[in-house]
Structures are given as C-alpha cells and as structure tokens.
Amino acid sequence: MILEKMEKALNDQINAEFFSAYLYLSMAAYFEDQNLSGCAHWMELQYNEESEHAMKIYKYINDRGGRVQLNVIETPQAQWKSPLTAFEAAYKHEQYITGRINDLMKLALELNDFTTQSFLQWYLNEQVEEEANVDEIVQSFHMMGNDKRAMFMLDRELKQRQAGSGSGD
C-alpha cells in the first residue's frame, strides 16, 4: 500500500509529465510552422516519451493500491523567438523535471518508502540522459550560429531520430 503523502506527490508528478508532453507537442507545432520538420519530429518523439513517463507513474500508483487523481494541464507556451530558444526552453524544462524527481526521491527516503525509491531510480537515470540529449542539441545550435546550411543539416539529423533513441526510453 502506498502512503498518502507519496501518492499525492506522485499524482502531482503525473500532471508534470503530461504537461511536459503537452509542452513538447506545442514545440513540435512551432517547428512545423517554421518548416523544420526534423525538429518537429524530435519533439513529437519527446511528447510520446513524456506520456509514457506519466503512464508509468499512473500504473505504479495503481499497482501499489493507490488512487490516481488527474488534474488540469496548464496551457503550454506556443511561440519562441527562434529554434535555439525553443531547445533552450526544453533544456530548462528538463532541469526543472530533474528537480521534481529529486524531490520525490527525498520524500521517499524521508518516508522510508523503499519500493518507491527503487521505482524512482529509473527516473533519476532517465533525467541524466534527457538533459544531456537536449543540451547536445543546444550546443549544436550555438556552434552553427546563423548558418542556414548548418540549420538544414541539423534539422535533417534530428529527423533521423527513432523512438527510444536520442533520448531515454
């Protein structure tokens, strides 16, 4: 049986994961509008991953005899100044999610909830990969500057990403 305090915190994380999915889908729409189908594709795969992350927690709560409580998902940003600022926002968002996962682990430690500690270990490892992958793209944007040919090449490279690659699965 899951403790009520942990259940509430995990329900809040489900909401944060679904917001992440919604944010990445909004970024995909932005990139489609900018004719950057590779960037859009990368963000669509992020949308799928974040939805899966939320559903993993959903299932965990149910498996532990808890009650899932879904909340309103905030409207995500829809416009960015540039493709670079969109990916910088994605990086900042991943850092925020890492902080939330760390807080969940602190709570699980405080509550001596060893099962949830074990469950959260996957998320801790996942966030290292999530941050590193987005940061790599941000660094690529910085290296290419305003070179449109480089942007074309990066967009083509991002279009090659397969589900479960380029970021944690």
> Given a cut of 80, is residue 81 above it in pLDDT?
yes
pLDDT in tens, 54-72: 999 999 999 999 999 999 9
The candidate with the shortest Cα–Cα distance to 16, out of 72, 67, 60, is 72
CB–CB of 46/24 below 8 Å?
Answer: yes
Q: Residues 43, 28: contact at Cβ < 8 Å? A: yes
Domain ranges of the chain: 4-159
For residue 114, pLDDT beyond 90: yes
pLDDT of amino acid 163: 80
* Cα within 13 Å of Cα(75), Cβ side: 2
User: What's residue 165's pLDDT?
Assistant: 53
Q: What is the pLDDT of residue 153?
A: 95
The tally of CA atoms less than 13 A away on the side-chain side of residue 84 is 12
The rounded radius of gyration (Å) of the Cα atoms in the chain is 17
Summarised one tens digit per residue, pLDDT across range 10-48 is 999 999 999 999 999 999 999 999 999 999 999 999 999
Q: Mean pLDDT over residues 123-146, rounded?
A: 96
Q: How confident is the model at residue 167 (pLDDT cuts 50, 70, 90)?
A: very low
The pLDDT, as a whole number, for residue 152 is: 95
Per-residue model confidence (pLDDT) at position 99: 98
- Residue carrying structure tokens 């589900």: 163
* Longest Cα–Cα distance in the chain: 56
Cα 30 to Cα 13: distance, rounded to the nearest angstrom? 25
pLDDT of the residue at 169: 40
| C-alpha triplet 97, 38, 136: angle, nearest 5° | 45
Contact by Cβ (8 Å): 86, 34: no
How far apart CA 23 and CA 63 sit, in angstroms, is 28
Any idea what the Cα angle at residue 113 is, between residues 110 and 118, rounded to 5°? 115
**Matching CATH number, 4-159, of 3.40.50.10880, 1.10.645.10, 1.10.8.60, 1.20.1260.10:** 1.20.1260.10
Which residue is associated with the tokens 């403790």? 3
93 confidence band (pLDDT: 50, 70, 90): very high
